[in-house]
């Protein structure tokens, strides 16, 4: 007999506590050993998918008020330096297991309906910041490319060589954005301009900066993410 969960009482935090060992059951820090990471991912990935679907089926994460924004509190993290990107020639490519691959300029992206949200950005290093992000819902862009029925994952490539992967359910969450505004102004280049991921349901290292390419796939590739391939948890949900 399967485990029956009381849907009306589940929160994101309770779901993670219930799952116990999802993604290895803890966040690995940068000095941790990567022993067994591939085996743990293989064992827990189906459970990760189930938990994530339960999480994103709930209401959006509550947001903060404008007077709670913490200006200049978002730290700058780049594993390979801040890339030099010309916003005039910038293009976002979206491809993979889709029926309508596209390339969009920054102007074309900004012409789409904008969503603004005030959320807490939480870093695995132990700090957090309340930030207002503005941009396009990732779900709106995914609809444009018409993903095939068996798509389950979304990969992100960045101009600095960083790479990440998300499950499709989290990518379609209404508060997952590709943002081009921070606190009502264009995102500074060192914070990820011209386009970066922003979402209240994932830890900071999942929220790629300087995104140039989005790839939809049906299978999780061997390279799951820059930090995940070095021992960090793949799920990284909040």
Residue 82 sits in a domain of what CATH number? 3.90.420.10
108 three-state secondary structure: helix
User: Is the residue at 85 inside a domain?
Assistant: yes
User: Is the residue at 7 inside a domain?
Assistant: no
User: Is the residue at 56 inside a domain?
Assistant: no
User: Is the residue at 164 inside a domain?
Assistant: yes
Q: Tell me, what's the pLDDT at 15? A: 38
User: Is the residue at 44 inside a domain?
Assistant: no
pLDDT, one tens digit for every residue, the chain (238 residues):
333 333 333 344 433 333 333 333 333 333 232 333 344 344 445 555 555 555 555 578 999 999 999 987 787 767 678 999 999 999 999 999 999 999 999 999 999 999 999 999 999 888 899 999 999 999 999 999 999 999 999 999 999 999 999 999 999 999 999 999 999 999 999 999 999 999 999 999 999 999 999 999 999 988 999 999 999 999 898 7
Q: pTM of the prediction?
A: 0.78
CA distance 140 to 120: 22
Number of domains in the chain: 1
CA distance 35 to 128: 29
CA distance 133 to 199: 9
User: Is the residue at 80 inside a domain?
Assistant: yes
Asked if 217 and 97 touch (Cβ cutoff 8 Å), the reply is yes
> Domain limits at 184?
66-223
Of 222, 210, 121, 126, the closest CA to residue 165 belongs to: 222
User: Is the residue at 20 inside a domain?
Assistant: no
Q: What is the DSSP string of 80-99?
A: S------TTT-EEEEEESBS
Q: Within 10 A of 230 (CB to CB), how many other CB atoms are there?
A: 12
User: Is the residue at 92 inside a domain?
Assistant: yes
Asked if 220 and 102 touch (Cβ cutoff 8 Å), the reply is no
């Amino acid at each position: 007999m399967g485990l029956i969960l009381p849907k009306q009482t589940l929160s994101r935090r309770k779901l993670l506590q219930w799952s116990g060992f999802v993604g290895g059951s803890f966040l690995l820090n940068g000095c941790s050993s990567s022993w067994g990471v591939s085996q743990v991912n293989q064992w827990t990935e189906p459970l990760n998918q189930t938990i994530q679907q339960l999480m994103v089926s709930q209401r959006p994460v509550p947001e903060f008020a404008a007077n709670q924004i913490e200006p200049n509190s978002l730290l700058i993290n780049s594993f390979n330096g801040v890339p030099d990107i010309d916003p005039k020639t910038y293009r976002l490519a979206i491809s993979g297991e889709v029926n309508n691959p596209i390339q969009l300029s920054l102007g074309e992206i900004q012409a789409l309906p904008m969503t603004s949200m005030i959320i807490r950005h939480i870093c695995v290093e132990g700090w957090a910041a309340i930030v207002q992000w503005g941009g396009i819902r990732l779900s709106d862009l995914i609809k444009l490319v018409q993903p095939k029925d068996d798509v389950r994952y979304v990969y992100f490539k960045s101009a600095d060589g960083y790479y990440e992967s998300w499950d499709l359910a989290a990518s379609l969450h209404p508060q997952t954005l590709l943002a081009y505004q921070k606190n009502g102004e264009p995102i500074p280049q060192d914070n990820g301009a011209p386009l970066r991921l922003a979402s209240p349901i994932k830890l900071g290292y999942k929220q790629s900066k300087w995104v140039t390419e989005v790839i939809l796939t049906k299978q999780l590739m061997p390279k799951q993410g820059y930090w995940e391939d070095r021992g960090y948890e793949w799920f990284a949900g909040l």
